[in-house]
Amino acid sequence: MSVRLSQTPGNLERGHTNATMTLPKRIAVLSVLLAIVRGQEPFTDTVPDGFYLRKDLSDCLERFHAPKLNDYQCLVFGGTQVNVTEFPHMAVLGWKVPEEPDQGDGGVRWQCGGSLITVKYVLTAAHCAADADNIPPRFVRLGDVNLASAKDDTFAQQFEIKSIVRHPEHRFSKKYFNLALVELDGVVRLTGGVCPTCLWTNSKVLPADFFQTAGFGETSLGSGSVPTLLKTSLRATNTTQCSDSFKYTRGLPEGIVRDQVCASMLNADTCQGDSGGPLQVSLRSYNTEHPFLVALTSFGRGCGIGSSGVYQQVAAHIPWIESVVNETMDPVRCTEKYGAFRLRYSLEPECSLRGLTASRVRLLWPEDAKEAEQFCSGTLIDYNTVLTSAGCTKNAQGVQPTEIEILENRVKIVEIHVHPEFRSPHNNLALLRLEKYLNLTKEIAPSCLPVEQKSEVCSDRQTHDPVACWDKFAETTKLNLLNKPCVLHRIRSSTVKLIWKDPDPLKQSCVGMVIKPDTVITSIRCMNLHGELPPMEVAFNESEVEKRVKILRTLKHPGNKEGSRNRDTALLVLAEPLEALVPSCIKSLVGERSNRTLVPVYKQGTTHGILALPVSKICNGSMLHSFKELVGETIANSSQYTCWDTDRHLVPGTIPVVRGAGLLDNTNRFIHGLTTDFSGFGSVDPLVSINLTSYTDWITRFVLYRPPKVELVFRAGDDEFDYGSKCTLKNGTAGNCMPEYSCERTINESKSVKDITICGFEGSVSYVCCPLGHQDFLPIPEIEYPSPVRLLPTLPYENFPLELDPLVTE
């Protein structure tokens, strides 16, 4: 589906002026216009140079990204705020010790652990609701990591227990549904040392493989409880193996069930006295780190001998918990509520590249229309084309965006093209055509699609004007090699010698320079000195031994005239790659696509802020299984999507992915994919992006659509003409396209308009094909001016005589 909002004709690519204007005047006018354009805003009405010449998008990198080296900028954050305890939710349950004669107060016996989950409730194991004498606990103590000392009691708070509510399906004779809620007789005072934990609410999957646990229990079998809070790390173990090890355990008639998890380490396990304590994982939101309670210590066999402990998961019992505490356990709400009391942790990368060009845009709606709840983004991929998701082309009221914004510059959208097979959520792509064209600056440049890079240069499949294309390629290549990072003595090491089948020692030897692993640039003029046959091999030294590589093809600049130093460029395509000979400066300046992919997420605390977080690994294991469940086996095995393993412990729902945004590399030069509506970033679900290689043809057709050059109406075919262009009359006579007033004899001798061959029109002036002898004013002869490449300092591959090489004579 394609919706054209308006049609604004572009200007002519080559600025046709009045036909009688002399060539010098035309050049002067064009120079003035170019100077004006360069000083204008980033977007212009002027059609870019070479806009009508492209046939594919493989030249994106060379066209839009000037060679440069990016350096890193590193920020220093204010350090990490450390709490008095790493477990501010850790609670311990105490039993009143009976008074004995002549002993006074019997004190408190601290025995079971628990976790503060609201300001009034502690979650613990159900079997902690009473001791062996069927006596319930009386006290709950919080914020104390050493029960035997008062030195750390700054944050300590102690409450009496108002009530204990066991899970309705718990039975003391069995080891299932081992949860209980302890209501305090007061409300806790929130501090850095006392703060509720969040609960893991996804019953289908665990948030991690490794967990932390803590308690005041025994450190070894029979050693007795310790007063200091101890912690250890445990790993989830195989449920089947764990179930086998507890096969004949009393109270487990059904074995280990789905809402129980086994965990252990070789030399670490929770012991007696730790019951009800937390099995947790730390998850991050945008700028805070939060403990998430996954399970409670339930039971085990022995201590520290490598056997698994069994833990009661809480996710399956969230509805019951919420019904008792009368409060939502939503993870996002929890992080918002207690974020001020958490460990500080910023997702902002400490180091990032400086001086990057921008390609990410924001979609804007009319002032009287509502923007989507979360704003939509897109990526500039050409002069006037933005790639976004189809879901971003309409808001909830069906209104379409009308503008894009990039670096505070706004441009109108004139056409919206949704993928024809879009059926939410699949094929969720759209292309936007802008009213104006990008005027290349150091601040803004399109990101390039991952199209195949061809070894051929400026072929008919790639451009409508091979000569102009080769001119640009030759200039860009030389400028890259003359860039500051390309020190002369280093790039000379990339020089290779051209070898002919029957070399003539009396003729000048020719050299070339390796500019790509399989490509050498050299001089046509030098090769012509050796006759019509091209060279067969290139030779180079490796560890003082000469090696040779065969040449498969020779490509020559189509605009070169024999003997001319203008357009004196040829390329040799090699049979074997010479990766080691490519100048390192060229690798760093142009470079390959980075393996580091950045995912755009909404920046917490800002209205329209975006933060790019890195991913690098493709899904496997449980992530791959989740991906197949998410999109289906058939689609997962296709090339429509890419599944990324974010490998980050983030709170689900707190770091949403930006809608319609591209996944760019860390230089912003390449776009690796497009975000989808399947999942957020960094939770237990994989990040799914649209694989753009599956849509390259569709995108290319839209990007390369060129509106007609409306200032000139063609009548004699599709070939473009200018004053003096060659043409052929209907009788086969050769002529030139001339204004009608410059060819009066032909017009007067013609019996009707049908006898006149019309080239076209410019304004009210008709251009006719005028025979050579009938022209009142002869066409201006073509003058060959030095190409921009010749005006630059000389490089070895141009094969100039040594005394003419300014780089050598310096």
How many structural domains comprise the chain?
4
Band the pLDDT of 16: cuts 50, 70, 90.
Answer: very low
Same domain membership, residue 632 and residue 531: no
Q: Report if residue 239 sits inside a domain.
A: yes
Same domain membership, residue 529 and residue 602: no
Whichever domain contains 551, its CATH number is 2.40.10.10
Tens digits of per-residue pLDDT, 78-131? 333 334 567 899 999 999 988 766 555 568 888 889 999 999 999 999 999 999
Q: Report if residue 298 sits inside a domain.
A: yes
pLDDT over 80 (residue 495): yes
Same domain membership, residue 554 and residue 611: no
Residue with tokens 């990032």: 352
Q: Which helix (H) or strand (E) holds 566?
A: none
Tell me how crowded residue 96 is: count the other CB atoms within 10 A of its CB.
15
Same domain membership, residue 185 and residue 324: yes
pLDDT over 90 (residue 677): no
Same domain membership, residue 688 and residue 565: no
Whichever domain contains 718, its CATH number is 3.30.1640.30
Q: Return the minimum-mean-pLDDT range out of 313-327, 404-418, 470-484, 773-787.
A: 773-787
Per-residue pLDDT, 714: 36
Same domain membership, residue 185 and residue 157: yes
Examine residue 425 and say whether the peptide bond preceding it is cis (omega within 30 degrees of 0): yes
Mean pLDDT of the chain: 79
CB distance 142 to 192 below 8 Å: no
Average of per-residue pLDDT across 384-397 = 92
Same domain membership, residue 569 and residue 660: no
Q: CA separation (Å) from 177 to 166, 196, 246, 299, 324?
A: 9, 22, 17, 12, 15
State both tokens at 84.
């008095």
Q: Report if residue 584 sits inside a domain.
A: yes
Q: How far is residue 428's CA from residue 610's CA, in Å, rounded to a whole number?
A: 21
Band the pLDDT of 438: cuts 50, 70, 90.
Answer: very high
Per-residue pLDDT, 455: 60
Q: Report if residue 566 sits inside a domain.
A: yes
Per-residue pLDDT, 76: 39
Same domain membership, residue 191 and residue 292: yes
Q: Report if residue 563 sits inside a domain.
A: yes
Q: Which residue range(s) make up the domain with 521?
A: 484-588
Per-residue pLDDT, 356: 85
Per-residue pLDDT, 395: 85
Same domain membership, residue 212 and residue 160: yes
Tens digits of per-residue pLDDT, 545-583? 899 999 999 999 988 888 778 889 999 999 998 888 888
State both tokens at 728.
């052929």
Same domain membership, residue 214 and residue 188: yes
Question: Among 370, 372, 406, which residue's Cα sits nearest to residue 386?
Answer: 406
pLDDT over 90 (residue 378): yes
Same domain membership, residue 568 and residue 489: yes
pLDDT over 80 (residue 228): no
State both tokens at 748.
């007067």
CB distance 660 to 615 below 8 Å: no
Residue with tokens 């054209």: 4
